[in-house]
A and B are shown apart, each in its own frame.
Chain A
Amino acid sequence: MIEQIITLGLTGLIFLGAAATALWKNPFDKLIGLSLLSAGVIPLIVMRGYLDVAIVVAILIPISTIFILLLLGRKTS
């Protein structure tokens, strides 16, 4: 029962992050929407029991975000 509620909430979080990423105009806001989406995805990986996959994904997502931020800063300067 409680797992179904948690799955429903995480699905709502993923859809909210995807819609926000598609609709916001500022690129920094788009990065914030991507962080919302990843925050919805990682507990779904943990619920299936793949903990090592969850650790690797949770370490790799901020590195990719930092790369995108470096590209954004290079384009403005």
Chain B
Amino acid sequence: MSIALYGAARTVLEKETLLKLPFVNVMNFGIAGLIVFILPHPLTLVAAAAYFVGSTLEANAIASAIARRKQE
């Protein structure tokens, strides 16, 4: 259950640099673990897997867009 506090602390720490994406990934991992632990139901695993895949895809899309803009 302390993964929530870990993710929140990482999110507060994440503000200082412009390279925020690795800290966003750490927070997404913590939130996915919290979704699994928060409710004892079999469908929770599917929800956590969907959230994890979606958030990782989102962060990678933002990172590739930033890299493409810096390249031009």
Tally of B interface residues using CB under 8 Å: 37
**A62 and B61 within 8 A (CB):** yes
The DSSP consensus for interface residues of chain A is helix
Q: Are A28 and B4 in contact (CB under 8 A)?
A: no
Cα distance, A46 to B46, chains bound together (Å): 12
* Residues of A in contact with B (beta carbons under 8 Å apart): 2, 5-6, 9-10, 12-13, 16, 20, 28-29, 31-32, 35-36, 39, 42-43, 46-47, 49, 51-52, 54-55, 58-59, 61-62, 65-66, 69, 72-73, 76-77
A-B contact pairs, 27 of them (CB 8 A): A5-B4, A9-B4, A9-B5, A16-B8, A28-B65, A32-B24, A35-B24, A35-B55, A35-B62, A36-B11, A39-B7, A43-B31, A43-B38, A46-B47, A51-B39, A51-B43, A51-B47, A58-B50, A58-B51, A62-B54, A62-B58, A65-B61, A69-B61, A69-B62, A69-B65, A72-B65, A73-B68
